[in-house]
Amino acid sequence: MAQTSKKMQIVFASAECAPFVKTGGLGDVAGSLPAALVRAGAEVIVMVPKYATIKDEYKAQMEHFADFYVSLSWRNEYCGLEKLEHDGVTYMFVDNEHYFARDYPYGFFDDGERFAFFSKAITESLQHLPEGFECDILHCNDWQTALAPVFLREFYQGLPLYDRVKTVFSIHNVAFQGQFSDTVMEDILGMAHIPAAATQLRCDACSINYMLGALHYADAITTVSPTYASEIQTPEFGEGLDGVLRERSYALQGILNGIDVVGFDPATDKRIAANYTVDDRAGKAVCKAKLQEELGLEIRDDRPLMVMVTRLTRQKGMDLVMYALDRILSGGVQVAVLGTGDRDYEDGLRYFQGKYPGTMAARIEFDPALSQRMYAAADMFLMPSKFEPCGLSQIIAMRYGTLPIVRETGGLKDTVQPYNEFTGEGTGFSFSHFNGDEMGDAVFRAARLFWDNRKAWDQLVTQAMSQDFSWTRSADKYLDLYFFMHPEIERPVAVEAAVAVEEPVAAEAEPAAPVKEPAAAEEPKAEEPKAEEPKAEEPKAEEKPADDGEVKPTAKPAAKKTTTRKTTAKKATTTKAATSKTTAAKATTTRKRTTAAAKKAVEAEAAPEVKAEATAEATIAEAKTAAKAPAKTAVKKTTATKTATKTATAKKATATKSPATKAATTKATAKTAPKAAAKPAVKVEEAPSEPKAKATVEAKPAAKTTTRKRATTTAKKATTKTAAPKAEAKAKDKPAVEAEPEPKAAEVKTAPKATAKTEPAKKAPVSPAAPAEEKAPTKKTSVRKATATRKRH
């Protein structure tokens, strides 16, 4: 599938969005994640209801963009789109005063109808977006937008504009699912006549579940932390939806939320008494003293101050707080709580405030500015939730250097690393079970560290403040999911990363070629027992010209890699192909020359003996010259003659091997390592009969070696009478002319064998079936053959 360079275009739908409207963590996510996605290169439109509670300053900036009607069963409702650009993100507010002109976002008798309309308006709005914006991903959040994937599939699938749309549904809290009476199915949704929808939305005989519909219909499901994604697949945390979540576990993943690190920055926050940084925390002590004074607590820096900013509900662990608070306060820990919720918990906090004046402070209200001052001033932050999908409070607390004390559940477990007193690792304190005594123990573990080991405490604060909980990290993971669902769209971040990495890749490409060359040149080393010691020098001889031959053409396209991978690949392929063809042609020429030389040697070998004797003097002279070249395969002892031979051999080998041949050896061996390794092993011995089978330059010296051995043998036949026994070891380097008494003993011993080898035996070496012993004769055998031949003549 061909990739396109268009940007990923996302519609992000949420019932609340900071800074316009916010009641909980969903508002923070919708206010921060889209901006992070835009910074990462995507185009995002956020769709939010136009509540009456939105501040007038924002309403004044909105411009009417479009209006249309939305059908909702038998209803036909007006829908307006109000556009607002804020911090680089485009917001579309769904306007319908009948549903949204109220004092609070939720909690009304007709919430099922209100948010069914919102979901239908979202899907209908995809036809009325700004020009050039074609939705690739529709990202819905919680039950208020859960019907959008259902409507999209049942009412819009098949339309060209909607076929490309993939849906993602995020669960921020599985406890709130949007359950309503069964009558909603037909009277509001208009889906009772669609069996698939009716089945997948129904949670029991008399009610339907909006979130259940999204879990069935969405292409992908996410939650706000990895641990929570696992927990909701169990009956304990699944709230009745664990079955369908297990069924669709392949489409489910957890991605941790982040926070607005710019808005929550102790170095620049204007809402706190004094600013401070991770390196200089003097301002935190000022914040603590100011808050103690503000809340009526004793102004003491030797007592740890623990705070809670939370909804006063059982989910947030208030049962445990009520159980352990007496123990905590009497133990010398100051406590301050801010929040509203269940009346029983509110009254309980007021009771403890009256019982422990100067140590306990309860503020039963909603005050964002005070919450910020509490985050900055406190030493510890208590969050003992029964379950917590992600939680932002503990992350904000760490950002301000306040150590969290949490229960190991959901996002709390994923974000807070418990303190290890032996290694010093950690960013806070934790406990496992939903138990008041365990919670109290965790509080006093923290308090004792504060009292007894302030150095370790300060180090823990430093580690907590140094954590990265920015939305950039989370946005990257969401983009991974989006691009996985749309592989045809090219990811701009990935392209930039590739360009950035190209530079070092190209730099490494240059040495990559020389690294390959020795590897290829090492193949002939397998022949060393047959090609003898000096062959070890051949790779050295090849390395130097290889830089001028093969490496440079390879290195040039490698350097061009810095522009584009595809262009590089094509150029590299073209260069390789051209080089291979040229090299192959040159190698063929070399082989032909090798064959010609070999044939001449064979003809000389097969000549009649009379001719060999008649031309003995010429043969001796030729053998002397030839002996210097094949000395590589014959000489092992260190002598002055060997040194001279090596020098002559090196010169001759250099002259014989043209740069093209060397390049052919390097390239051919690198590409056809298995063949090149196999063939020389066999053909070195059979070079005279099958010279064309040689694939490497080693064929040439191998063929000459065998031929020259035979020439030397013939020469010995003519000069055996004058050869000294001690000169036999040097026969192939420098034939000696001395007295002949001792070879006669060899004549007697080898006479029977010489008789056996008649005239046809001379052609035996040419035959492919000739034994290896005859092709690589030992010194004694060579002398015996020579003596026998002379005796015969």
At 204, list the tokens. 């029991």
Single out the residue of 786, 765, 788 nearest to residue 686, CA to CA.
765
At 75, list the tokens. 């209803």
Sheet holding 9-13, edge to edge: 63-72, 75-86, 89-95, 43-49, 9-13, 137-141, 166-171, 220-223, 252-254
Helices (H), 691-742: 699-719
Furthest-apart CA atoms within the chain: distance in Å: 134
Q: In angstroms, rounded to a whole number, what is the distance separating the alpha carbons of residues 486 and 350?
A: 55
Interacting residues of 305 by C-beta distance below 8 A, sequence separation 6+: 288, 291, 292, 297, 333, 334, 335, 336, 377, 378, 379, 380
Single out the residue of 389, 670, 431 nearest to residue 550, CA to CA.
670
> Helix, strand or coil for residue 126?
coil
Q: What is the pLDDT of residue 1?
A: 60
Q: What is the pLDDT of residue 650?
A: 44
Tell me the sheet residues that pair with 207. Answer: 181, 204
Q: In angstroms, rounded to a whole number, what is the distance separating the alpha carbons of residues 25 and 18?
A: 10
Rounded alpha-carbon distances, angstroms, from residue 473 to 257, 261, 389, 480, 782? 9, 12, 18, 11, 79
Single out the residue of 699, 735, 700 nearest to residue 715, CA to CA.
735
> Helix, strand or coil for residue 21?
strand
At 116, list the tokens. 């069914």
Question: Which residues of the chain have a pLDDT value below 50?
Answer: 493-791, 793
Burial-class residue 600 by CB neighbours within 10 Å (0-12, 13-18, 19+): exposed
At 302, list the tokens. 């030797």
Where is 779: in which H helix or E strand?
A: helix 779-792
Helices (H), 532-564: 538-546, 552-559
Residues 37-50: tens digit of each pLDDT:
999 999 999 999 99
Q: In angstroms, rounded to a whole number, what is the distance separating the alpha carbons of residues 174 and 230?
A: 12
Helices (H), 298-435: 318-330, 343-355, 368-377, 393-399, 410-415
Q: What is the pLDDT of residue 6?
A: 86
